[in-house]
Structure 1
Amino acid sequence: MANEDFFNNVQAYGQWKRDLVSTIEQFQDWLNTTGLEDSEQSLKIYETLQTLKYDRITLAFVGEFSRGKTELINAIFFSKYKRRLLASDAGRTTMCPTELFYDVDDPKAYMRLLPIESRLEDTSITEHKQHPINWTTIQLDINSPEKMAESFAQITKTKPVKAVEAKRLGLYDIITDNNGSEISDNKIVEIPMWRHALINFPHPFLEQGLTILDTPGLNSLGNEPELTISMLPNAQAAIFVLAADTGVTRSDMDIWRRHLKSFRRNRNSGLVVALNKIDTLWDDLKTEKEIKASIQRQCLESSKTLGIDSKHVFAVSAQKALLGRVREDTDLITKSNLPKLEQVLSSDILPQKQNLVRNTIINDITDLMKSSKSILFGQFNARKKSIAGLGGLSGKNENVIYNLLKKTREEQQIYQKNAENLHASRQILLGQQKKLNNIIALDKLDEHINQARTTMKGSWTTTGMKSGMKLLFDGLSNTINEADKQVELTNRLINSIYTRFQNENKEEGSELKAKLFSVDSYKKEIELLYEDAEEYRTSVYSTLTEQSFVIKKFFISLVSRARNIYYQLNQDSDSWTKLALTPLVHHVKAHKQELQMRMDQLKKAGDSRNNITEQFSKLTKEAKVLQKYLIDLNAMIKVVSEPVTAENKQQKSNQAPSK
């Protein structure tokens, strides 16, 4: 069954991450044992392990009210409880964004609810997550589906307030009467009770690192900018849910165009459409063939309207799938067509996430491993040469040994000069790093942000406020472009350092490759954020909503995200420059040790021929140890380079790398 396939692949992804963690920890021990460890490498390894620990795959369910998003979640993930776990009955709808996940630091099941009044604060949801005291916490009884369902019903709750209070909370655009006219400030209206919900739940999918994001309908999407500007774009996959009986409505199209553009920018990567409620098209007066044709037409019409390939549109019935799984009715499950949707989630989305992890995390560790391998291989070859050299010394006279000592001292002088050149190069690189740090300095960015905030708050007009928004993001774009130019200069410097080293040390340095840096990904993020800022700036929402609230949300949702991008750029560029010349430093250090070892051998050989046999035996043992280190490292490189598949999951779990 596809549900089982989906679980197996999610589990395989989780096993792949555990194997990575085990192997990276093994690599850290390997570095300690071989003497190749340094503080910068250890920090990089620690950061990688922390990232893998908290890494999650986020799957978002997006759509208009009453399209069956929550029912779809119940059918895919919670059917084993033999009931609707999340409230999805008629007339009960999700009123706030809800994240379902497994908290590795707090395995006790809980639900945290952020009061709607928190919208008045200058604090983002992301920041609120760091402070559980700001949330209402409900402990969940996982042994009682009924009690859990009762607790989960909280996310459908609303509360009555005066319209003036709703306006103060930034919920202005939904406070209209049936004719679309503005209502009086004293009229009582219903608003969501909660701004956001977090559900920590020990579900097998969630324990493997999957996070489910259930979103409310269009109006709520439009009134929580952080959801649309930050949470949805950061999701690895999204299911856009439509209703088969209505097709693509105007409000559906509005969500598609405005809130799923981050996926459509990537050629619909990670995006699928679920045409839900196909059971409404099941007609006893029609043949099975006619029903299938009707459903197929609706799929084609939907794909055409959305401008997406029809292979990304799946006609399903979440309600019938849930019913089929509760009753263990395989025919009904098959007829619901949900297994086909689950199959694409399994086969397409998980590999995309793995590639993302590999490109953003694992490649750096692989580079460290390969650099260490190059150094150790050089040591191994040096031992072999020394062994061969000692074999030839047994019959040599003192004059020959003296000449070899002289030659080795000359090599030491050359490498001393190389070491001095490398030190000078590091100083030049530090100068380039300071220039880059000065361009992207967070204190300068914060000063720029605070100045923009003051200017916008002091503006008497909406036009002036919007102009301030544009100027701020123009400045952010200019800064990233300036950083791009400085990084290019630094890349050229690093390339020249490596080229010079390779020319001076053709044998030892031939395998060393400079690791260059690029701001392209950060630049792209700023460009996309600029587009989001322009849309927010020119929207009806920012025109009609109270100016102070618009400014507050602008800084919480957009500017804070821009600052996070610059923070990450600072961290990554700093790590890059610190590690950029590490392979060369290690090679120089290792070669110095090799030359000193050779000097000691020659001196002992000159003192006594008996020392030659002793040194020969010692070097042979050292070469065998180094060879074993290389074999171990090759095995680690293989693990981190291996793709994740459900087929090898069991084998991997039985043969996890030993520490």
Structure 2
Amino acid sequence: MSLEQSITRSPILEGLSALNRWRQDLVSGLHEMAALTADLGLLPSGTMLQLETLAYDTEQDSLRIAFVGEFSRGKTELINALFFSDMGQRLLPSSSGQTTMCPVEIRGAPQGRPGLQLLPIASRSLDVSIEKLKKAGSAWRKFPLSVADKKERSESLAHLTETVCVAVEDARRIGLCPPLNRTPKNRERTVCPSCGLGKVLIPRWRHAILYLAHPVLDAGLTVLDTPGLNAIGAEPELTFSMLADADAIVFLLGADTGVTQSDLMIWDQYLMRNAHQKQIVLLNKIDTLWDELREEDDIQQEITQQVANTATRLRISPDQVIPVSGQKGLVARIRQDAELLERSGLAALERSIAEVLLPARHETIKEKCRMLIERAVLDQKNMLQDQRHRLLAQMDSVQSLKDRTAEKIPKLVAQHQILLKNFEQDRQAFEEKKARFRQAVEELLLIPLAPNTFDLVISNAKAEMLSAWTTAGIVERFRQFFSEAVAHFDRALEGAQQVSAMVAEEYQALQKRYRLPPLRAVPYAMMPRRAELMDMSESYERFGMMLEIAVNTQSSVVRKAFLTVAGRTRDFVVETRREAENWVDEIMAVMNQQLQLFHQNAEEELNSLQSIATTMGNIDTRVQQLEQSLAEIQEQSDRLDRQSAPLLSLLRAPFRPVR
């Protein structure tokens, strides 16, 4: 089997391809369900838009794996071995004397056009997040990338290892060197061997995005290569933007060093506490333990012991620790050496990624889609069932007329006319109360979540944060900031309950009087959103405890860190407010639809009775009309079952990783 065939049949690529095919089927099903919902016209148009938005988000979804560890743990080499050995050489620079100096995101190439984007280190002086800078094309340097020419490709990717000599004052200005008043006396006049007196060596680039046309990337994988986690203290966005947003973390340790104190700190503070992420721990460079003068059993016993010790120190199962040699795995892939590949542990790692990370991502996508899809299908089924029951009741009523004398018809017409008149009066009164509902929504639910209110909270917190020069002060201000945010949420939660009770009370009076269907609009779930905010609070308070180095070095780092937290919290609040507004619009639309449907049916029945009053011969015609309406509803119900079945099946089927 050729090397190309070997890569094509790798469990990671096969698993990603299976996940991608499933995701595309899900996207197609969402589009079809949105079209069917619009065609049936049973639900408000907002539901169709939500289904289309969910389809777009699902189509853009990717599995983000971050490779994390201290310097010289072999992260880049392992990435080369796992994903890009089919290129016949190293893709990313990882040989002796070369290492990536900034975080690198490796993504699929849009329209198959590879390229490299680099963000200059000077952008650290801007109070703008990296996520926002990604949308500012002028802030980045763009380089072409020739995939076919290995020499040109290597020269382009060598930019990732670039450093530059700058004056100490310039380094301090962007937060990469301690202020003068916090610099030890014996280091005030810094001398860099390669730069000279008063200068320091810093990375040339702050962030990199590599676009590459490759099967694993095209199948929905994004690889995050970090330059060593000691960069976290100097760059808080590395923690929030890359690690916190990653779906899975691959944590690399040295087989020759085991778990060092800095490794343990990284694990405790940044990795193990995130319950939403999957983690795989690697003991890399096991080839340093290979010794031709020792028996193979002794070597394997030592590796097993290292795995057990690592699991004990990290308080995880030994099954979660995989011994591997990225360098030997890369050599084995390129040379097509099956024995060396198995001995390097790379094959076992590929199986673990395919069997652990891919099913977890599959489950995450399912959970994201399940609630809206099942609700849309169930609501439409219930509404069709309600219509069917009303038509059957009308048929019973019309059939009973055939057994009555014509003398009773005028009385029934008068009763229906009174019913419609009373209903119109009650409906008009209900419409007049909607203004009060909207005012209550604004005052009780939306004002507590207003963006300008949070802007003021953020502004006040930012000013107080800059005056806090101790870790305890920072942690307390983080805690106070989230306490204020939770207080606004609690007001909004109480308001949501009051609004729900107010609307339900008014609708239930009409429902009881006119036997309307129960209001099936799902109440807005504020409590889970509040729980998410509490989780954010706990996570960011722990991050505040880690900012002591930032307080002792550069106030701009504290400002950037808080702005990152505040910005994410504000976005969370704005999103919650937008969902609350959608909920209010949806419940109002559903009530209007139920009232309109009752009015329409009542008028149809009155018209039918009036026709019957003119001639009793119209009864048979009315029965035929009702039977035709029943057939149409049954056809719609069958169509809904037929088109929703494959989509619901996709949500219920388990993901089977490639064996």
Instruction: After TM superposition, give the deviation of residue 474 of structure 1 in Å.
Output: 0.8
State which drifts further: 122-131 or 431-440.
431-440
Instruction: After TM superposition, give the deviation of residue 220 of structure 1 in Å.
Output: 1.9
- 1:346 is matched with 354
- 1:277 is matched with 285
TM-score (norm. length: structure 1):
0.87
TM-score (norm. length: structure 2):
0.87
- Is 1:94–1:156's contact at 8 Å kept on the other side of the alignment? yes
- Is 1:61–1:69's contact at 8 Å kept on the other side of the alignment? yes
Determine which of 212, 220, 227 is the counterpart of 1:216.
Answer: 227
Mapped to 1, the partners of 2:220 and 2:345 lie a distance apart of 26
Per-residue CA distance 1:360-405 (angstroms, 9 max, x = gap) = 4441343233222221221233233334444454454323444544
State which drifts further: 435-444 or 486-495.
486-495
Determine which of 300, 306, 320 is the counterpart of 1:298.
Answer: 306
- 1:153 is matched with 158
Query: Is 1:611 the equivalent of 2:622?
Result: no
Instruction: After TM superposition, give the deviation of residue 212 of structure 1 in Å.
Output: 1.4
- 1:99 is matched with 105
Instruction: After TM superposition, give the deviation of residue 167 of structure 1 in Å.
Output: 1.9
Determine which of 622, 626, 632 is the counterpart of 1:625.
Answer: 632
Determine which of 209, 234, 242 is the counterpart of 2:245.
Answer: 234
Task: Determine helix, strand or coil for the equivalent of 1:223.
Answer: coil
- Is 1:162–1:188's contact at 8 Å kept on the other side of the alignment? yes
Determine which of 67, 75, 83 is the counterpart of 1:69.
Answer: 75
Per-residue CA distance 1:336-365 (angstroms, 9 max, x = gap) = 222332333233333333443344444134
- Is 2:236–2:557's contact at 8 Å kept on the other side of the alignment? no
Mapped to 1, the partners of 2:596 and 2:435 lie a distance apart of 15
Q: Write the mapping of 1:372-383 to structure 2, written as runs, cut at 5 A.
A: 372-383=380-391
Residue identity matched to 1:314: I
Task: Determine helix, strand or coil for the equivalent of 2:100.
Answer: coil
Residue identity matched to 1:208: A
State which drifts further: 139-148 or 314-323.
139-148
Residue identity matched to 1:572: E
Task: Determine helix, strand or coil for the equivalent of 1:85.
Answer: coil
- 2:318 is matched with 310
Q: Write the mapping of 1:73-472 to structure 2, written as runs, cut at 5 A.
A: 73-102=79-108, 107-172=112-177, 182=187, 184-185=189-190, 186-260=197-271, 263-266=272-275, 269-394=277-402, 396-406=404-414, 408-409=416-417, 412=420, 416=424, 419=427, 423=431, 424=433, 427-428=436-437, 430-454=439-463, 459=467, 462-463=469-470, 467=473, 470-471=476-477
Instruction: After TM superposition, give the deviation of residue 239 of structure 1 in Å.
Output: 0.7
Per-residue CA distance 1:16-48 (angstroms, 9 max, x = gap) = 332333223223322332233534334433432
Mapped to 2, the partners of 1:114 and 1:5 lie a distance apart of 34
Distance 1:313 1:85, change over 3 A: same
Q: Write the mapping of 1:488-503 to structure 2, written as runs, cut at 5 A.
A: 488-491=494-497, 493-494=499-500, 497-498=503-504, 501=508
- 1:31 is matched with 37
Instruction: After TM superposition, give the deviation of residue 93 of structure 1 in Å.
Output: 1.4
Mapped to 1, the partners of 2:474 and 2:324 lie a distance apart of 47
State which drifts further: 181-190 or 222-231.
181-190
- 2:193 is matched with none
- Is 1:19–1:639's contact at 8 Å kept on the other side of the alignment? no
- 2:536 is matched with 528
State which drifts further: 293-302 or 229-238.
229-238
Residue identity matched to 2:157: F
- Is 1:522–1:565's contact at 8 Å kept on the other side of the alignment? no
Mapped to 2, the partners of 1:523 and 1:512 lie a distance apart of 25
- 1:541 is matched with 549
Distance 1:255 1:467, change over 3 A: closer
Per-residue CA distance 1:46-93 (angstroms, 9 max, x = gap) = 432332233332211100111111122122211222221111212211
- Is 2:406–2:616's contact at 8 Å kept on the other side of the alignment? no
Residue identity matched to 2:452: D
State which drifts further: 234-243 or 202-211.
202-211
Distance 1:45 1:257, change over 3 A: same
Mapped to 1, the partners of 2:178 and 2:290 lie a distance apart of 38
- Is 1:238–1:271's contact at 8 Å kept on the other side of the alignment? yes
Residue identity matched to 2:444: K
Mapped to 2, the partners of 1:147 and 1:609 lie a distance apart of 90
Distance 1:538 1:217, change over 3 A: closer
Query: Is 1:550 the equivalent of 2:557?
Result: yes
Residue identity matched to 2:147: I
Mapped to 2, the partners of 1:370 and 1:566 lie a distance apart of 29
- Is 2:102–2:227's contact at 8 Å kept on the other side of the alignment? yes
Mapped to 1, the partners of 2:653 and 2:171 lie a distance apart of 49
- Is 2:160–2:208's contact at 8 Å kept on the other side of the alignment? yes
User: Which consecutive unaligned segments of at least 5 residues does structure 2 have?
Assistant: 1-5, 191-196
Instruction: After TM superposition, give the deviation of residue 319 of structure 1 in Å.
Output: 2.0
Mapped to 1, the partners of 2:575 and 2:357 lie a distance apart of 25
Mapped to 1, the partners of 2:653 and 2:124 lie a distance apart of 42
Query: Is 1:475 the equivalent of 2:481?
Result: yes
Mapped to 2, the partners of 1:355 and 1:339 lie a distance apart of 24
Per-residue CA distance 1:408-439 (angstroms, 9 max, x = gap) = 44654675577567653784365144322221
- Is 2:444–2:495's contact at 8 Å kept on the other side of the alignment? no
Q: Which has the higher contact order (CA 8 A, sep 6+)?
A: 1
Instruction: After TM superposition, give the deviation of residue 599 of structure 1 in Å.
Output: 2.3
Mapped to 1, the partners of 2:547 and 2:282 lie a distance apart of 28
Task: Determine helix, strand or coil for the equivalent of 1:199.
Answer: strand
Mapped to 2, the partners of 1:59 and 1:522 lie a distance apart of 28
Per-residue CA distance 1:280-339 (angstroms, 9 max, x = gap) = 222323333322222111111001111122221111222222222222233322222223
Mapped to 1, the partners of 2:186 and 2:376 lie a distance apart of 63
Mapped to 2, the partners of 1:417 and 1:31 lie a distance apart of 32
Distance 1:245 1:456, change over 3 A: closer
- 1:654 is matched with none
Residue identity matched to 2:107: F
Instruction: After TM superposition, give the deviation of residue 480 of structure 1 in Å.
Output: 1.8
Instruction: After TM superposition, give the deviation of residue 456 of structure 1 in Å.
Output: 5.3
Query: Is 1:587 the equivalent of 2:594?
Result: yes
Instruction: After TM superposition, give the deviation of residue 237 of structure 1 in Å.
Output: 0.9
Per-residue CA distance 1:535-577 (angstroms, 9 max, x = gap) = 4466332232132x23432344322222222222222222233
Residue identity matched to 1:211: T
- Is 1:379–1:594's contact at 8 Å kept on the other side of the alignment? no
Residue identity matched to 1:90: S
Mapped to 1, the partners of 2:501 and 2:150 lie a distance apart of 61
Count of paired positions: 638
Distance 1:205 1:626, change over 3 A: farther
RMSD over equivalenced CA pairs, Å: 3.4
